[in-house]
Amino acid sequence: MSTGDTQFFLEIRNVSKTFGPVQALKGVSLDVRLGEIHALMGENGAGKSTLMKILSGAYVPDEGSEILIEGRKVAINGPMAARQLGIAIFYQELALAPNLTVAENIYLGREPSRRALIDRTAMVAGVEDVLQRLGASFTARHKVADLSIAERQLVEIARAVHARSRVLIMDEPTTTLSERETERLFALVRKLKQEGLAIVYISHRMKEVYELSDRVSVLRDGTYVGTLERDAITPAAVVRMMVGRDLSSFYKKDHDAHLGRGRVILSVRDVADGKRVQPCSFDIHEGEVLGIAGLVGAGRTELARLIYGADPKVSGTVAVDGAQVSIRSPLDAIDAGIAYLTEDRKLLGLMLDMSVSENINLGVIARDALAGGFRNLAKGRQRAASAIEVTGIRTGSPDAPVGGLSGGNQQKVLLSRLLETNPRVLILDEPTRGVDIGAKSEIYRLIDRLAREGVGVAVISSDLPEIVGICDRVIVMREGHIAGEVGGAAGAAQITQGNIMAIATSAATDAA
């Protein structure tokens, strides 16, 4: 809130928004300063997108809501009004015309004319300065269709800067960017901040928020929870605000890590593909959560796909509950009691145009088919309803297309499908990638519950706090082989981020 002599450019006061019986926002108030990066965080459904759509003119707030620009109350009754007030927004799905040039996209709706014709020469000249300021590697004459995603994103930013926007709202801007492209974007965001623009940065990636933000505001269930200044931004504080509980209860490990420690349910010996993966051997015990860590390119996913039969192996054996099994395909793995959650749920996991119910039932249709091979629709509905309740999938209906759900709920649908196969071993590849913090917590609780029930769980993750928080033992891969292990047996090194990275990078010292 506005205090002291601080000048806020944008002030949101008591903003509410209802959609029929649903109240998406309830009296939200917060402020944005020029020359700051202000992160907005919250679970999916917390109200972030609704608030941003109000600021961009896509939604009209309820009566009694107030928005002030430089202390003056304004009405944002459409996207044009928002742009005229200096507010620009761009989403994960960029709003560009790929068949037009960079200059034409930047000037779209504001084209200069000469003798009643669009003056394209003037457009090119008019954007060169902005493109140079932003460090663009392309020219104003390039067609947007020929640009990379990161370059197209830069066109969006250039359009906002060219229109003299004062507030840039960035909604999950790094979702489709590589690490190098993300670093370039961060450098640009900091440059725009130094030039006096206000950046409202929406992300579920806490690392980005900690790295960039001057302040963090949190919404929960459509209400404003609070704002943290730079020196108060910590993982524990943000998590507590977002989910309403301490970080200590975020990672669940209520299962007994030593339950059945001598009972091996998955034994992998000398599995290799002759290319990326060198001969690898490890065990998973009943009721154990085993982490598989390593740097990008270490071979973690490739090893999982060999075990699951998604890729052919050139050597090695796999045994389940002491019996060696022949796995030449994923179907063989499922029959042997092994389930695998792919890291790319949209491309390799879900049928996005099919319903929640159909996706949940996809792996077991044949199991309860009626005589003559007909689908047992009643059984399928019952199974879907149970899965939705057990895993906490948030959907308006089991018949809703799964493509319309949030990332976290899509992940829970895919997990539900795998669990319907009653696996003895569950391999999870980046299980919380692209999901909000609330869904992460629910997935951790599900993993913990499965371990308590005796399932052996392997978690491949690039998120080291996640690995440390939920795993009982961690094997670390480097350059296609298992380079070391932490946790587990007495005397082994502790599971810490430092110890994992020391092995992953071949560091000589043990870092705590």
From the number of C-beta atoms within 10 Å of its C-beta (0-12, 13-18, 19+), residue 439 rates as: buried
Long-range contacts formed by 344-352: CB under 8 A, 24+ apart = 345/407, 345/410, 345/411, 345/414, 346/410, 349/414, 350/402, 350/403, 350/410, 350/413, 350/414, 351/402, 352/401, 352/402, 352/403
pLDDT at position 161, please?
85
> Which residues of the chain have a pLDDT value below 50?
1-6, 260, 507-512
The SS3 assignment for 371 reads coil
pLDDT at position 369, please?
56
Q: Any idea what DSSP says for residue 376?
A: -
pLDDT at position 228, please?
93
Q: Which residues lie below 8 Å from residue 19, measured CB to CB, with a gap of 6+?
A: none
pTM of the complete model beyond 0.75: no
Interval 216-258: pLDDT, tens: 999 988 899 999 999 998 877 887 787 776 555 667 677 776 5
Place of tokens 């491309």: 347
Look up the CATH architecture of domain 251-337+423-512: 3-Layer(aba) Sandwich (3.40)
Rounded Cα–Cα distance for residues 374 and 384 (Å): 18
pLDDT at position 247, please?
55
pLDDT at position 250, please?
67
pLDDT at position 318, please?
96
Rounded Cα–Cα distance for residues 26 and 14 (Å): 8
Rounded Cα–Cα distance for residues 2 and 301 (Å): 49
pLDDT at position 4, please?
38
From the number of C-beta atoms within 10 Å of its C-beta (0-12, 13-18, 19+), residue 22 rates as: exposed
Domains 10-246 and 251-337+423-512 agree in fold: yes
Interval 377-402: pLDDT, tens: 777 777 778 778 777 788 878 888 88
Domain borders along the chain are 10-246, 251-337+423-512, 351-420
Interval 59-92: pLDDT, tens: 999 999 999 999 999 999 998 899 899 998 887 6
Q: Please check whether the domain covering 10-246 is classified as CATH 2.60.120.700.
A: no
Structure tokens at 424: 């003895």
Handedness of CA 448, 451, 455, 459 (dihedral sign): positive
pLDDT at position 59, please?
92
pLDDT at position 1, please?
40
Q: For 352-383, give one letter per residue: b (16+ CB within 10 A) or e.
A: eeebbbbbbbbbbeeeeeeeeeeeeeebbeeb
Place of tokens 């504080």: 237
Interval 168-218: pLDDT, tens: 998 888 877 777 888 888 888 999 999 899 999 988 777 788 889 999 999
